Amino acid sequence: MSGHSLPTHGRFEYVPITGRADYSWPGGKRLALWVAINVETFGYGLDGPTLGNPLPMPDQRNWSWREYGNRVGIWRMLEMADQFGVPLAHQVNSCLYDTHPQIMAALGKRTQDEIMGHGRTNSEKPGMRPEAEERALIAEATEAIRQHEGKAPGGWMTPLQAESALTNDLLKEAGYRYCVSWPCDDQPHWVKTRSGPLLNVPYAVETNDYVSVIHLRQDAPVYGDVVLRQFEEMLEQSVERPLVLALSLHTFIMGQPHRLRVLRDIFRRIMGHAHFDRVWLTTPGAIADHCIGLKPGIVPGS
């Protein structure tokens, strides 16, 4: 490949983490920890994740497994978050306002939490649509949240993280402050769009329950061990520079009782850590607000 250029996304430059300016989170905290709850709805007989082999459509078994998260899982996860005082960032499909209004009514009352845009339903892939259709889909999902919550969401996560080459442009033009599109860093950084910069807040791949349970087929205690090792190592590293750790959870995965048991233990051990006083337990919107308020030149790409 010598003498040839590799394709690039053109969204941001390479900046090694060891060569960046230092700053702290509010209160002098060094590790920002945020928890994403993927709150999703799926059309009966339409595509969606499967546990084990899919059955012929309408595949009521796997639809029912996903729907368990809405009927049972999310309610147990909300109770657990209240038990430990953990704020949550709910990545919501806007069709939930029609299919599961009780869920959205409950989320709307949780003042410590944040509601993010997450498409209409995870039975469709907006990033696979032509530009005009993707723009319209983002607008529809955003407007549904605005109408019901009284304000538009500040952050967006495309279903399945399957974005088009133009998704970040469309998000900026739809009024979003931040995305969680690029899980390539442990610090926020700015992303270039055709209409100005958009902040990228670190999101979870290695600490995403979907990757662990569905793709890697790991039992919940393995996921718990991964999360705790990630937390402890990043907490040590954060002495040198501020970092962000995100956990991404799905109601139909970690909301299952045997995994919820592990999740409780994760938060019990994190919050009981000897150096938990260095941790900012927060939401991605608050992380974005803090970074947007920093002087230019501190956050990469600013």
pLDDT tens digits along 155-209: 999 999 999 999 999 999 999 999 999 999 999 999 999 999 999 999 989 999 9
Dmax (CA) of the chain: 59
Query: What are the φ and ψ backbone dihedral angles of 3, each rounded to 5 degrees?
Result: 85, -5
Question: Residue 71 has what DSSP assignment?
Answer: I
Within the chain, which residues score under 50 in pLDDT? none
- Which CATH code is given to the segment(s) 30-47+55-292? 3.20.20.370
What is the DSSP secondary structure assignment for residue 186, as one 8-state letter?
S
Domain map of the chain by residue range?
30-47+55-292
- From the list 46, 79, 49, 52, the residue with the least C-alpha distance to 66 is 49
pLDDT at 53: 85
pLDDT in tens, 244-263: 999 999 999 999 999 999 99
Q: How far is 182 from 204, CA to CA, in rounded Å?
A: 10
Q: Are 54 and 105 in contact (CB under 8 A)?
A: no
142 neighbors 153 (Cβ within 8 angstroms): yes
Residue 52 has what pLDDT?
83
Confidence at residue 4, expressed as pLDDT on a 0 to 100 scale: 77
pLDDT, one tens digit per residue, over 13-24 is: 999 999 999 999
Give the pLDDT of residue 204. 87
Give the closest residue to 262 by CA, choosing from 220, 299, 290, 206: 220
Task: Say how far apart CA 69 and CA 65 lie, in whole Å.
Answer: 7
75 sits in which H/E element:
helix 74-84
